[in-house]
Amino acid sequence: MTEKKEYKVIGTRPIRHDGVDKVTGRALYGADFQMTGLLHGRVLRSPHAHARIVSIDTSRAEAYPGVKGVATAQDLPDAEDRIADLGEGAVNLKYLCDNILASDKVLYKGHAVAAVAATSPHIAEEACTLIDVEYEVLPPVLEVRQAMEADAPLLHETLKTTSMGETADEPSNVASHIQHQLGDPEKGFAEADIVVERDFVTGTVHQGYIEPHNATAHFNQDGQLTIWCSTQGAFTVREQVAEILQYPISKIKVVPMEIGGGFGGKISVYIKPVAALLAKKTGKPVKVLMNRADVFEGTGPTPASYVRVKMGATKEGKITAAEAYLAFEAGAYPGAPVGPGAMCIFAPYNIENVIIDGYDVVVNKPKTAPYRAPGAPNAAFGSESVVDEIAEKLGIDPLEIRLRNGAKEGDRRADGPVHPRIGCIETVETAKAHPHYTAPNGQKHHGRGVASGYWFNIGLESSVTINVNADGTINLIEGSTDIGGTRSSIAMQAAEVLGIPAESVNPSVVDTNSVGYTAVTGGSRTTYATGYAAYEAAQDVKRKMIARAAKLWEVDEDNVQFADGEFSCINGKEEQISFRDLCGRLGQTGGPVVGSGTVNPGGAGGAYATHIVDVAVDEETGKVEILRYTAVQDAGRAIHPSYVEGQIQGGAVQGIGWALNEEYIYNDEGTMTNASFLDYRMPTCLDLPMIDAVIVEVPNPGHPYGVRGVGEVPIVPPMAAIANAIYDAIGIRMTELPMSPDRLLKAMGKI
């Protein structure tokens, strides 16, 4: 499986197909959409973190000149308390609707309460201030451990804890408890010569995509609803809007515009149903845009969490047992990614005895949303810090202990699945041999740290259609939003099958009426699954083209061979024709050729990463500087290596931001006090060195070219790697994120 196959297109670095549009400002993103007669919508948001809505009076706003319509939760169909399957997991419809426009209670500062459509955005904003909302303010609960206490303020009077199939009698903020057990943890800890147990706390962080959410909706007189928007998945928007508005999917068309970053945060809908409601009310197209504060306060960040990890090992460095307690903040409604956290936490290791408990807990913060490997970074910060401490106490090199315990094909993950062929060991070996790891590291207050990470990746549904052109090119129609160069990584897989250059493929991302069902660009699935569908569609084209060549030469299809872009006759006749020339003869041989491919593959194949970081700690200011960063990752097969490197570099830097600076800072009333890009401090290029991305290729047996998803796992190792480097520099174990200057100074006893 690991032998290197020769490919003509895969592994090369063509210019991305949408590149010129994006460097010239021509590419149209959601907010760039214009239409005659367009109205502008804005959303009024709750000033309180927890309150009952006593009354909403919209009359003053409605009377304001330029206002064309006002919407509240009253305008939404009555939401039943039922579970809807939206392709992205089951969702309680009442919660989904209440998060769009609050009905009885507001559950976080920034919770949408009402919306206005007006002739200009400024008028809409002004009119929002004229909506009179009377609130009965309730005490908020803002931290997961406090929310779990018996006397904590309750967000939902009807929410009761489900724990492994059982539902509790009394209401609680704990929505669910999960547990995974493997082997006999008690016995495993008894066998250990050393046991390390530590508590970890992580803050609420945001995906931080640069483009705010946006949506333009229009209802035609025949009831056809069209929504132009930025989204990671046009089909999930269609499903969510259909459920929220109780409107048939066949009457909704979602047009995915270019998207300015998502990282998981543009799967849930917020203003899309609001734009549709306002369009319905006004009979005009309505564009609703968020501002940056809306994005921070009104859309899902990733959870803050409390994590406790205990691990035991023998003197020889064999990890004998591991235990984790994961309590994640879901935000206002249940659904924290504690399940994925539990799946990933010990996955880089083969440990016989494991117990993991996970809790999904509601608090008065925005409903959390996926963010790149959701749940895994919170968990790995704990486990990878503890592994480092065990290695240090045993005097074993931290990569060596990872090699001794590394997960391999056939080992079982604590939540059940047995690993297929994976590249965990290979990433550690590559890191260990890297010149970064062997370089001297001894300067005062400088330190080096390593950590590994895992993400399972997903498959799900994708559809691709290929239309063959007379000049030997193909038009490739797909439904996967392109957030990072996937037009090219998908097109290249079709090109490889057909023996044509990447440039001979014209990929288009189209609306929900124009391509088969395709799940979101998320879960690191796009190059894997939509690429797989492109491979299948190209195989379909190849079969049909072989039939055409056979017809042309009057031979059986079995006698036609296709290799390197040439069809040839292998039996008797000395015939040969290139793909390109045959494309020019489709009219004579039966008409146009269209190929299609649909997949729902199960073999996504997990991804592993191992990172090395050097830091300098400024003892005066507590500032941590990243001096050098190397990120090793198994990509299975890198279709377009530049964009694989880009995913690795971008994920690592988001992790650096999470590790060092990023967090929602709340006051006691539950107001985020840093809801701007000035105060929510994401890394700039001045904060960073070059990020050395090292691609390891252990082909995934679940994909024809061996592709593994690459987008998510690079955000998993950085927090622990940096914490371990800080320990190496100053001898202090940091257990709370972010490791910002004030926390460093406190830890060093300077303040």
Partner 1 sequence: MARKSHVQTTINGETVEFLCESRQSLLEVLRDELYLTGAKEGCNNGNCGACSVILDGRLVNSCLVLGVETEGKSVETIEGLAEPDKLHPIQDAFLENAALQCGICTPGFIMSAKALLDSNPNPTEHEIRYWLAGNLCRCTGYDKIVKAVMDAAKETSA
CB nearer partner 1, residue 260 or residue 300 = 260
CB nearer partner 1, residue 253 or residue 640 = 640
- Answer yes or no: are the C-beta atoms of 270 and 100 closer than 8 Å: yes
User: CB of 368: closest distance to partner 1 in angstroms?
Assistant: 18
Quick one: three-class SS letters along 8-43?
CCCCCCCCCCCHHHHHCCCCCEHHHCCCCCCEEEEE
- Answer yes or no: are the C-beta atoms of 575 and 553 closer than 8 Å: yes
User: CB of 671: closest distance to partner 1 in angstroms?
Assistant: 18
Task: List the Cα angle 212/690/438 in 5-degree steps.
Answer: 140
User: CB of 687: closest distance to partner 1 in angstroms?
Assistant: 8
Write the DSSP symbol of residue 669: T
Long-range contacts of 337-340 (CB under 8 A, 24+ apart): 337/302, 337/303, 337/368, 337/370, 337/374, 337/375, 338/178, 338/375, 339/178, 339/375, 340/373, 340/374, 340/375, 340/376, 340/456
> In 10 A of CB 416, how many CB atoms?
9
Residue 524 has which token pair?
Answer: 């690191």
User: CB of 288: closest distance to partner 1 in angstroms?
Assistant: 14
User: CB of 266: closest distance to partner 1 in angstroms?
Assistant: 10
CB nearer partner 1, residue 76 or residue 369 = 369
C-alpha separations of 82 from 78, 155, 165, 337, 534 in Å: 11, 18, 18, 21, 36
Residue 616 has which token pair?
Answer: 């300098």
- Phi, psi for 51 (deg, rounded to 5): -165, 155
Q: CA nearest 507: which of 493, 521, 528?
A: 493
Compute the distance between CA of residue 351 and CA of residue 180 in angstroms, rounded to an integer.
13
User: CB of 675: closest distance to partner 1 in angstroms?
Assistant: 11
CB nearer partner 1, residue 302 or residue 649 = 649
Long-range contacts of 61-64 (CB under 8 A, 24+ apart): 61/114, 61/116, 61/127, 61/128, 61/130, 61/131, 64/118, 64/123, 64/126, 64/127, 64/130
The helix (run of H) or strand (run of E) holding residue 133 is strand 132-137
User: CB of 208: closest distance to partner 1 in angstroms?
Assistant: 5
CB nearer partner 1, residue 14 or residue 183 = 14
Q: Give strand pairing partners of 672.
A: 666
Residue 686 has which token pair?
Answer: 């001045």
CB nearer partner 1, residue 291 or residue 568 = 291
CB nearer partner 1, residue 177 or residue 436 = 436
User: CB of 705: closest distance to partner 1 in angstroms?
Assistant: 20
CB nearer partner 1, residue 119 or residue 475 = 119
CB nearer partner 1, residue 404 or residue 487 = 487
User: CB of 178: closest distance to partner 1 in angstroms?
Assistant: 31
User: CB of 711: closest distance to partner 1 in angstroms?
Assistant: 10
Compute the distance between CA of residue 160 and CA of residue 170 in angstroms, rounded to an integer.
6
Between 718-730 and 641-660, two packed helices, what is the crossing angle to 10 degrees? 50
CB nearer partner 1, residue 361 or residue 693 = 693
For residue 255, the SS3 value is: strand
CB nearer partner 1, residue 483 or residue 599 = 483
CB nearer partner 1, residue 10 or residue 550 = 10
Q: CA nearest 98: which of 162, 52, 133?
A: 52
User: CB of 261: closest distance to partner 1 in angstroms?
Assistant: 5
CB nearer partner 1, residue 164 or residue 678 = 678
Place of tokens 């969490």: 305
CB nearer partner 1, residue 31 or residue 361 = 31
- Binding residues vs partner 1 (CB under 8 A): 13, 15-16, 18-20, 22-29, 31-32, 34, 65-66, 122, 207-212, 258-263, 289, 291-292, 483-485, 640, 642-643, 645-647, 649-654, 676-678, 682-686, 688, 690-691, 693
CB nearer partner 1, residue 92 or residue 530 = 530
The contacts of residue 532 (CB under 8 Å, 6+ apart) are: 462, 493, 597, 599, 601, 703, 704, 707
Between 424-433 and 398-405, two packed helices, what is the crossing angle to 10 degrees? 160
User: CB of 263: closest distance to partner 1 in angstroms?
Assistant: 7
User: CB of 32: closest distance to partner 1 in angstroms?
Assistant: 4
Tell me how far the alpha carbon of residue 728 is from its chain's centroid: 31
User: CB of 117: closest distance to partner 1 in angstroms?
Assistant: 16
User: CB of 93: closest distance to partner 1 in angstroms?
Assistant: 31
Q: Give strand pairing partners of 114.
A: 44, 72
CB nearer partner 1, residue 277 or residue 648 = 648
Compute the distance between CA of residue 613 and CA of residue 628 in angstroms, rounded to an integer.
6
Buried b / exposed e across 271-294, counting CB within 10 Å, b at 16+?
bbbbbbbbbbbbebbbbbbbbeeb
User: CB of 126: closest distance to partner 1 in angstroms?
Assistant: 10
Q: Give strand pairing partners of 308.
A: 199, 325
Number of residues assigned to the chain: 751
